[in-house]
């Protein structure tokens, strides 16, 4: 659960890794202001009290599971651009959260502006948790994506607890695709990565064995020396490094016997991804140059 006192004490908010605009801008703000920029009124009261409605119980739900600042929001925004340029529509699920939740209404209304902005979201553009639906060119729903603050998945501890709305998604009848965001060399040290790996394993123990799993090796652009001469990331190298740095996260998905012969060693998909490159400006914002469509294509093929 979010530890609001710690959050405010640290002056960090959502982006615990200190590399976002909101983290910098909020440092000197009052406790009240920091909380209100990051969380909705209902969440401040208690995120566990927010009940969610999933009106479409058929369309698969893709959950972006990632630690704070792992790049979930930027991935969603990048995918929105890609999908809309390739004949899809992306629409926020307006009734996912209570109608009285004005912050959610605002978030839904501002989503497209954020997706097409020159800058990475910062300041008050905060996305709290939301559900968006992806439709194909003739309006058939393809999937729903849940995007949420990393604090709700990993707050520095490996505990088994997740907020109410994540439990609601987990137990919903829809098929699920769990996208575990992992970044090579992330965190302050190996100890922090171990804790995050344990948290991923906790969730894997809770989800249905029928759910699909994708590992997203995010921000690969930060490791250009691990690219092939054709300009694409060398996935086996990323795979090996992630496996070493996040112990046990692949273990549950090992094929054995005939399945191993037919489908290979593991029964999950993995993707190297980058939303783009980010250049910090003097006024503390980040100019976002989206990466090539290749990354989005790979990601989309893995989740669909
Ligand atoms: N180099 C690089 N940096 C990235 C990439 N994606 C995100 N970032 C950086 O990471 C920061 C955080 O990204 P977000 O998308 O806000 O992360 P998040 O997972 O939504 O964070 P929370 O909402 O706090 O859980 C951005 O401000 C960028 O500086 C990427 O693909 N490559
Ligand atoms: Mg986010």
List the CATH number of the domain containing 137: 3.40.50.300
- 176-182 and 212-217 strand pairing: parallel
Q: Are 128 and 259 part of one and the same domain? A: yes
223-240: pLDDT as tens digits = 999 999 999 999 999 999
Q: Are 213 and 267 part of one and the same domain? A: yes
Give the C-alpha separation, 203 to 11, whole Å: 28
| Structural domain range at position 257 | 47-303
Q: Are 30 and 144 part of one and the same domain? A: no
Q: Are 25 and 113 part of one and the same domain? A: no
Q: What is the mean pLDDT of residues 130-148?
A: 97
Secondary structure E strands in the chain? 61-65, 89-92, 130-135, 141-147, 176-182, 212-217, 269-272, 276-280, 286-290
Cα 42 to ligand 1 centre (Å): 25
Given a contact cutoff of 8 angstroms between Cβ atoms, the answer to whether 255 and 264 are in contact is yes
Q: Are 156 and 251 part of one and the same domain? A: yes
Average confidence score pLDDT of the chain: 88
Place of tokens 């930060």: 222
pLDDT of residue 51: 85
| Mutation probe of ligand 1 site: the residue of 12, 74, 148 with most atoms within 8 A of C-beta | 74
Q: Name the residue among 163, 131, 171, 164 with its Cα closest to residue 147.
A: 131
Give the C-alpha separation, 188 to 277, whole Å: 21
Q: Are 132 and 264 part of one and the same domain? A: yes
Q: Are 23 and 78 part of one and the same domain? A: no
Beta-bridge mates of residue 134: 90, 143
Q: Are 208 and 79 part of one and the same domain? A: yes
State percent of the chain over pLDDT 90: 75
Q: What is the mean pLDDT of residues 264-271?
A: 97
Give the C-alpha separation, 237 to 34, whole Å: 40
184 sits in the region (left: phi over 0; alpha: psi -120 to 50; else beta) called: beta
pLDDT tier, 5 (very low <50, low <70, confident <90, very high otherwise): very low
| Mutation probe of ligand 1 site: the residue of 18, 37, 71 with most atoms within 8 A of C-beta | 71
Cα 73 to ligand 1 centre (Å): 7
Given a contact cutoff of 8 angstroms between Cβ atoms, the answer to whether 19 and 71 are in contact is no
152-192: pLDDT as tens digits = 999 998 888 899 999 999 999 999 999 999 999 999 999 99
Give how many domains the chain has, as a whole number.
2
Given a contact cutoff of 8 angstroms between Cβ atoms, the answer to whether 56 and 144 are in contact is yes
Give the C-alpha separation, 104 to 280, whole Å: 28
Contact 68 CB / ligand 1 (< 6 Å): yes
């Amino acid at each position: 659960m979010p530890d609001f006192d710690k959050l405010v004490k640290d002056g960090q908010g959502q982006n615990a890794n200190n590399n976002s605009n909101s983290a910098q801008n909020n440092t000197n703000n009052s406790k009240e202001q920091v909380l209100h920029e990051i969380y909705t009124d209902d969440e401040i009261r208690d995120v566990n009290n927010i009940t969610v409605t999933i009106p479409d119980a058929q369309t698969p739900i893709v959950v972006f599971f990632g630690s704070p600042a792992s790049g979930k929001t930027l991935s969603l925004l990048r995918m929105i651009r890609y999908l809309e340029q390739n004949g899809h529509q992306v629409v926020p699920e307006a009734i996912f959260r209570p109608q009285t939740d004005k912050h959610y209404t605002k978030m839904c209304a501002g989503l497209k502006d954020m997706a097409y902005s020159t800058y990475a979201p910062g300041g008050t553009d905060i996305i709290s948790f939301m559900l968006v639906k992806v439709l194909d060119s003739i309006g058939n729903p393809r999937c729903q994506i849940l995007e949420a603050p990393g604090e709700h998945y990993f707050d520095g501890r490996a505990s088994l607890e997740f907020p109410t709305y994540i439990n609601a998604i987990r137990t919903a009848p829809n098929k699920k695709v769990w996208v575990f965001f992992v970044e090579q060399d992330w965190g302050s040290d190996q100890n922090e990565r171990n804790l995050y790996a344990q948290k991923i394993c906790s969730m894997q123990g809770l989800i249905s064995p029928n759910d699909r799993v994708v590992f997203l090796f995010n921000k690969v652009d930060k490791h250009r020396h691990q690219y092939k001469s054709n300009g694409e990331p060398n996935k086996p190298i990323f795979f090996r490094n992630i496996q070493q740095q996040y112990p046990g996260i692949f273990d549950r998905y090992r094929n054995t016997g005939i399945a191993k012969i037919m489908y290979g060693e593991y029964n999950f998909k993995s993707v190297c991804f980058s939303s783009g490159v980010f250049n910090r400006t003097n006024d503390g914002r980040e100019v976002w140059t989206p990466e090539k469509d290749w990354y989005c294509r790979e990601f989309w093929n893995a989740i669909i």
